[in-house]
Amino acid sequence: MPNNTHLSRFMEMARRVGAEVTQLENLQDAAKYVVTNSSGTTLVPRTALSEKHDLRTVLADAGVDVYDGDFRKAGHFPGAGVTFCNFAMADTGTVVLESTAEDVRLSTTLPEKHFVLVDPEIILEDNLAAAVPMTKIHTGNEPKFVAYVTGPSRTADIERVLTIGCHGPRELHILVIEGLSSDLYEI
Amino acid sequence: MATDQSYKKSIETAINNPKLSKALHLFGDAYLIARENAYSGLNFDAMRQELAAIKDDVRIRRKELLAEFIKNAEAAGSIVFVAKDVKEANDYVIKLAEKKGAKLIAKSKSMVSEEAHFNKAMEKAGIRASETDLGEWIVQLAGQRPSHMVMPAIHMFKEEVAELFGKEVGKTLNPEIKTLVDVARERLRQEYFNADIGLTGANFLIANTGGIGLVTNEGNARLCATLPDTHVVFAAIHKLLPTVEDAIKLTRLLPRNATGQLLTSYVTWIKGTVPCDGKTKEQHIVLIDGGREALYESKACQDALRCIQCGACANVCPVYQTVGGHVFGSIYISAIGIILTAFYEGLDKAKELTRACIGCRSCTAVCPSNIDLEEIILHLRTQVTSEYGMGVIKNVAFKAVMKNRGLFHSMVKAASKLQRPVTHPSRTGDEKRVIRHLPMHFMDRDFTQWRDLPSVAETSFRDQFPNIRQSVSDPKYTVGFFVGCGADFVYPEVGTSLIKVLNALNVDVVFPQKQNCCGIPALYSGDTETGVYLAKQNVEAFTEAKVDYIISICPTCTMAIKRDFVERLADHPGWSAKALALSDKTMDASAFLENVLGASEKLGNLSGNGSVTYHDSCHLKRGNNVFKEPRALLGASGYEISEMKNSDRCCGFGGTYSFLSHPQISKQITHDKVEAIQNVNVKTVAMDCPGCMIMLKGAMGKANPNIRCAHTVELMAEALDKK
Ligand code: SF4
Ligand code: SF4
């Protein structure tokens, strides 16, 4: 039985900040979801988890236009990015991505839409509980880039009116699937 | 440097632009609700005390933590430069750009870069710095400076933005917000790709990892830090935190307090030189002192460096809401802006700002770093006064008159007679006389156009007291009544009401005749000397009286005895112990009645009748933490309470503020309060402060004379009379 006591809170909080949250059976369903909900060049970084689950192939097989070249040359506004995450935090509906590899950064900042795969097992209760993994990730002299992502990009800089999609992705889709990963240090 | 004249002008211009003030009010209201929701289930006070403790530890260990940060950042590949001032910081970036042949810097938000006038400095060196934060970009295109720390362009409207963006992209744009955001999205995306250098600020610097943190919503900082091959971090030294866990604690407060978000869209943690386009990124961290070391060394003001720049102290400030950040601030705005301006730009530049604060303490109540902003501002005002003086009127009033109790009181008596020709019976006829118009040559007409001024009572409370018969056979307590000027000379009936209520609860009241003004008007104008003198007079009077408690019906006086006397006399041998002893037994009337005497239970259900709305005075709620008590007392007295909107927002009085220094701002703030009261549709507004009574009776007298303004103890006394 997976430890998913924080799942419902996480889903509720992520929805509150404008993320689309969907529970799916497996990666094939996730691929179908991506096809239905986006179009255009799709950045899928090669990471430990994506290699392990052969994510790029699964997506391509479902008809996603998985980009093959240098991500910097994929245009200023690629259609989508699909990534895993290290862990999530229930109290704020946040996903956390160790993004030291540049392709993870480009896949989550440039595209119009970001799809992120979350295993319920890696949902932490709250931000304070993240102190342990965050400290461990930052131990040692290795350069690190860690991104907390909570909902889509937003601004209220014109007349204080909340507007979605300023400089980052306009949509954040969180796809919850069991059995992807139980390791907070893997993405 | 603004002259006094141009400063006054800027206030007038701001006040004549009601559109801005209206927008800031709407924002302020929405902010309060969002913020409250964001903290639901959390203990804000405990959280802010914890953050303050972390920041104080940083202050004490700053040298050690800075060294630790530099060591760890360098180990991860960063190049760290410590700049003693903003010029050194700018020069470092210019040199770097020259070395790399860099022409374009894509820049995300950094307040210290505003302090450095970074964009101008780059321009002079032939480098273009492009702001990418939407608000900052708008302000840059308009050739202005930010008017708010979190929302730089909050003073602008979509039509103005459409015009600016239209010029930039060479076509006419619809003033539709979504369209405008899209224009910025597209346009600025090119800048990240073309830029040679990406510059970001830092919300925190973590000593034990050498990493930095960015707390943002738009996503531009991530692009600035990712696309160009060189990343410059422009950060002030006070952003240091010891550990990752401390940074997490900061991120739990910052978004909640800034915008009412539980977390911003992005929190980005960057440590060292990460991969970039097949190579390794070059990262330079420029750590800037820029006057912070001096601020750390100032015992009275150092807490200001706990600031995490959430902007909340502006959001809730009635002065900011009235005139905006371009008038009430400089680089940094509102409460924290006053303090930082004094330190980073010079006391001279902060002179008018220190006086423009009305002292309502809303900023102090909302600050996530637990900074007593109002107290620091007061301290700076004192410095301003000792350096620049406080003006002739106040000089004569405080130094020559108030210090001399006999002269002060006989002048008040004389005034009561002299004012005769200009007083009228109040409009409802059932109350005392008011001053409706002042002779034209005496003061600005505007002075009485929107409010009646109170007239001085024919017989002051101190002269009435000897004739008041108290019938308490076996008193439970004997209390000393500190009347305060407002009740003594303007509303003595509040004093007699208090005695009636206390007697009914078996408490005997004594009135030390040697008491004088609490000294706050002098102190708040920066005249410490008179303040200390008056503190001593009062401490002496009440020490001699040997009473169980000291009770006041004026929360400002209560705060004076509880806090200011103790502080002012701390270094006066023989006085400090006495001041402390008095402080311990001083209480506001409502707090004493409810918390010591249990009045609402003892009085049971009295039959005062009708609905009242309650106005929380600034110093009672935020100075003495009393707000439940008066409501309980009024309820037990038989009144039904209908709450008004923003009941704890300042009424605009602020003592001499409303009469001498900033009557125009005060008028606007009062106007808001009058509107809130009228919207409740009740006949009576209750309050616990003679200052608020002066302001609200005056303004209500013109706006709606049928609404009565009364002190809580007056209403209680009336309910007792009906028993
Ligand atoms: S005390 Fe009130 S008026 Fe003064 S800065 Fe703070 S909020 Fe503004
Ligand atoms: S002083 Fe306090 S309320 Fe004002 S910006 Fe700083 S942290 Fe926020």
Least confident span in B191-200, B495-504, B656-665: B656-665
pLDDT at B650: 93
pLDDT at B393: 61
Is residue B448 a part of any domain in this protein? no
Q: What is the pLDDT of residues B303-333, one digit of tens each?
A: 999 999 999 999 999 999 999 999 899 999 9
Q: Same domain, yes or no, for B186 and B335?
A: no
Say which CATH number the domain at A121 has. 3.40.50.10420
Phi-psi region of B519 (alpha: psi -120 to 50; beta: other; left: phi over 0): left
Residue spans of alpha helices (H) in B39-85 = 44-60, 62-75
The minimum-distance atom of ligand 2 relative to the CA of B257 is 8
CA–CA separation, B492 and B387 (whole Å) = 38
DSSP string, B589-651: HHHIIIIIT-HHHHS-S----SEEEEPPPHIIIIIH--SHHHHHHHHHTTPEE-PPTTTTS--
Partner-chain residue, chosen from A139, A150, A156, that has the shortest CB–CB distance to B263 = A150
Residue B309 Cβ inside 6 Å of ligand 2? The answer reads yes
β-partners of residue B604 are: none
Distance from CA of A81 to the nearest CA of B (A): 15
Query: Which residues in chain B are closer than 8 Å to A155, comparing Cβ atoms?
Result: 134-135, 181, 217-218
Is residue A163 a part of any domain in this protein? yes
- Mean pLDDT throughout B621-645? 94
Is residue B364 a part of any domain in this protein? yes
Higher-pLDDT residue of B169, B432: B169
Is residue B13 a part of any domain in this protein? no
- Mean pLDDT throughout A34-46? 98
Query: Which residues in chain A are closer than 8 Å to B41, comparing Cβ atoms?
Result: none
Contact B270 A131 (CB under 8 A): no
Which ligand number lies closest to the CA of residue B258? 2
Pairing verdict, β B282-288 and B79-83: parallel
- Mean pLDDT throughout A22-40? 98
Query: Which residues in chain A are closer than 8 Å to B225, comparing Cβ atoms?
Result: 145
pLDDT at B531: 87
Q: Are the beta carbons of B374 and B363 closer than 8 angstroms?
A: yes
Separation of CA B310 and ligand 2 centre (Å):
5
The minimum-distance atom of ligand 1 relative to the CA of B654 is 3
pLDDT at B508: 96
Is residue A118 a part of any domain in this protein? yes
Read off the pLDDT band of B419 (50, 70, 90). low
C-alpha of B521 from chain center: 18
pLDDT at B398: 63
Q: Same domain, yes or no, for B215 and B303?
A: no
Q: Same domain, yes or no, for B299 and B277?
A: no
Q: Same domain, yes or no, for B324 and B202?
A: no
Q: Same domain, yes or no, for B162 and B185?
A: yes
CA–CA separation, A87 and A82 (whole Å) = 15
Q: Same domain, yes or no, for B284 and B299?
A: no
Show Cβ contacts of residue B3 under 8 Å, excluding neighbours closer than 6 positions. none
Taking CA atoms only, the protein residue closest to ligand 1 atom 6 is: B363
Read off the pLDDT band of B13 (50, 70, 90). confident
Optimal mutation site among A85, A103, A138, interface B, most CBs of chain B within 10 A: A138
Residue B97 Cβ inside 6 Å of ligand 1? The answer reads no
pLDDT at B604: 78
Residue A183 has pLDDT above 90, yes or no: yes
The chain B residue lying nearest A97, using CA atoms, is B268
Least confident span in B122-131, B223-232, B275-284, B346-355: B346-355
Domain range for A26:
7-177
Closest by CA position to A122, among listed A114, A113, A133, A135: A133
Higher-pLDDT residue of B714, B668: B714
Closest by CA position to A177, among listed A90, A95, A117, A115: A117
pLDDT at B478: 96
- Share above pLDDT 70 across residues of chain A, in percent, rounded to a whole number: 98
Closest by CA position to A45, among listed A130, A142, A176, A147: A147
Q: Are the beta carbons of B107 and B129 closer than 8 angstroms?
A: yes
β-partners of residue B685 are: B613, B709
Contact B222 A109 (CB under 8 A): yes
Question: What end-to-end distance do the CA atoms of chain A give, in Å?
Answer: 22
Residue B367 Cβ inside 6 Å of ligand 1? The answer reads no
Query: Which residues in chain B are closer than 8 Å to A143, comparing Cβ atoms?
Result: 76-77, 271-275, 280
Query: Which residues in chain A are closer than 8 Å to B203, comparing Cβ atoms?
Result: none
Q: Is B531 helix (H, G, I), strand (E, B) or coil?
A: helix
- Share above pLDDT 70 across residues of chain B, in percent, rounded to a whole number: 90
Is residue A185 a part of any domain in this protein? no
Q: Same domain, yes or no, for B241 and B102?
A: yes
pLDDT at B632: 95
Residue B363 Cβ inside 6 Å of ligand 1? The answer reads yes
Closest by CA position to A81, among listed A23, A130, A42, A41: A42
Residue B436 has pLDDT above 70, yes or no: no
Read off the pLDDT band of B723 (50, 70, 90). confident
Q: What is the pLDDT of residues B244-286, one digit of tens each?
A: 999 999 999 999 999 999 999 999 999 999 999 999 999 999 9
Mean pLDDT rounded to a whole number for chain A: 96
Angle at B444 between CA B441 and CA B447, to 5 degrees: 125
pTM, entire model: 0.87
Distance from CA of A79 to the nearest CA of B (A): 14
Q: What is the pLDDT of residues B460-501, one digit of tens each?
A: 999 999 999 998 889 999 999 999 988 998 899 999 999 999
ipTM here = 0.97
Read off the pLDDT band of B175 (50, 70, 90). very high
Is residue B267 a part of any domain in this protein? yes
Contact A158 B190 (CB under 8 A): no
Residue B382 has pLDDT above 90, yes or no: no
Residue B431 has pLDDT above 70, yes or no: no
Residue B334 Cβ inside 6 Å of ligand 2? The answer reads no
Which ligand number lies closest to the CA of residue B332? 2
Read off the pLDDT band of B401 (50, 70, 90). low
Q: What is the pLDDT of residues B47-92, one digit of tens each?
A: 999 999 999 999 999 999 999 999 999 999 999 999 999 999 999 9
Closest by CA position to A35, among listed A69, A62, A71: A62
Read off the pLDDT band of B438 (50, 70, 90). very low
Q: What is the pLDDT of residues B567-619, one digit of tens each?
A: 989 999 999 999 999 999 999 999 999 999 999 998 877 877 789 999 999 99
Last-in-domain residue among B362, B388, B414 = B388
Say which CATH number the domain at B339 has. 1.10.1060.10
Residue B141 CB-density burial (10 A; 0-12 exposed, 13-18 middle, 19+ buried): middle
Optimal mutation site among A109, A159, A172, interface B, most CBs of chain B within 10 A: A159
CA–CA separation, B438 and B453 (whole Å) = 9
Last-in-domain residue among B226, B254, B288 = B288
Structural domains in chain A (count): 1
Residue B161 Cβ inside 6 Å of ligand 1? The answer reads no
Query: Which residues in chain A are closer than 8 Å to B138, comparing Cβ atoms?
Result: 157-158
Contact A128 B190 (CB under 8 A): no
Is residue B56 a part of any domain in this protein? yes
Instruction: Read off the tokens for B33.
Output: 């609700």
pLDDT at B444: 45
Taking CA atoms only, the protein residue closest to ligand 2 atom 7 is: B307
Is residue B546 a part of any domain in this protein? yes
The chain A residue lying nearest B78, using CA atoms, is A143
pLDDT at B3: 54
pLDDT at B183: 96
pLDDT at B433: 58
Domain range for B474:
461-722
Q: Residue B561: what residue type?
A: I
Is residue A97 a part of any domain in this protein? yes
Read off the pLDDT band of B526 (50, 70, 90). confident
Read off the pLDDT band of A121 (50, 70, 90). very high
Q: Is A182 helix (H, G, I), strand (E, B) or coil?
A: coil
Read off the pLDDT band of A1 (50, 70, 90). very low
Residue B369 Cβ inside 6 Å of ligand 2? The answer reads yes
Instruction: Read off the tokens for B123.
Output: 């321009």
Show Cβ contacts of residue B143 under 8 Å, excluding neighbours closer than 6 positions. none
Last-in-domain residue among B227, B261, B288 = B288
Higher-pLDDT residue of B436, A85: A85
Q: Same domain, yes or no, for B282 and B308?
A: no
- Mean pLDDT throughout B525-535? 86
Instruction: Read off the tokens for B333.
Output: 């705005």
Is residue B554 a part of any domain in this protein? yes
Q: Same domain, yes or no, for B328 and B360?
A: yes
Q: Same domain, yes or no, for B269 and B349?
A: no
Instruction: Read off the tokens for B414.
Output: 């004389």
**Residue with tokens 């407002």, as numbered in its chain:** B486
CA–CA separation, B547 and B405 (whole Å) = 22
- Share above pLDDT 90 across residues of chain B, in percent, rounded to a whole number: 72
Largest CA distance in chain B: 92
Computed over its alpha carbons, how large is the radius of gyration of chain B?
28
Say which CATH number the domain at B102 has. 3.40.50.10420
Q: Same domain, yes or no, for B61 and B161?
A: yes
Cβ-based contacts under 8 A for chains A and B: 181
Separation of CA B650 and ligand 1 centre (Å):
9
CA distances, A160 to each of A133, A155, B171, B210, B313 (Å): 35, 8, 24, 35, 17
Structural domains in chain B (count): 3
Residue B368 Cβ inside 6 Å of ligand 2? The answer reads yes
Query: Which residues in chain B are closer than 8 Å to A166, comparing Cβ atoms?
Result: 134, 181, 184-185, 217-220
Neighbours of B410 (CB within 10 A): 11
Is residue A2 a part of any domain in this protein? no
The minimum-distance atom of ligand 2 relative to the CA of B366 is 3
Residue spans of alpha helices (H) in B303-454 = 312-315, 318-323, 334-340, 347-356, 362-366, 373-388, 392-394, 405-418, 446-449
Is residue B694 a part of any domain in this protein? yes
Q: Same domain, yes or no, for B279 and B334?
A: no
Partner-chain residue, chosen from B23, B185, B211, that has the shortest CB–CB distance to A167 = B185
Pairing verdict, β B423-425 and B433-435: antiparallel
Residue B211 sits at φ, ψ, to 5 deg, of -95, 165
Is residue A182 a part of any domain in this protein? no
pLDDT at B384: 87
Distance from CA of B435 to the nearest CA of A (A): 42
Separation of CA B329 and ligand 1 centre (Å):
12
Q: Is B386 helix (H, G, I), strand (E, B) or coil?
A: helix
Contact A135 B220 (CB under 8 A): no
pLDDT at A2: 45
Residue B437 has pLDDT above 80, yes or no: no
Residue B681 CB-density burial (10 A; 0-12 exposed, 13-18 middle, 19+ buried): exposed
CA distances, B166 to each of B137, B154, B159, B173 (Å): 13, 19, 10, 5
Q: Are the beta carbons of B379 and B405 closer than 8 angstroms?
A: no
Closest by CA position to B251, among listed B238, B233, B268: B268
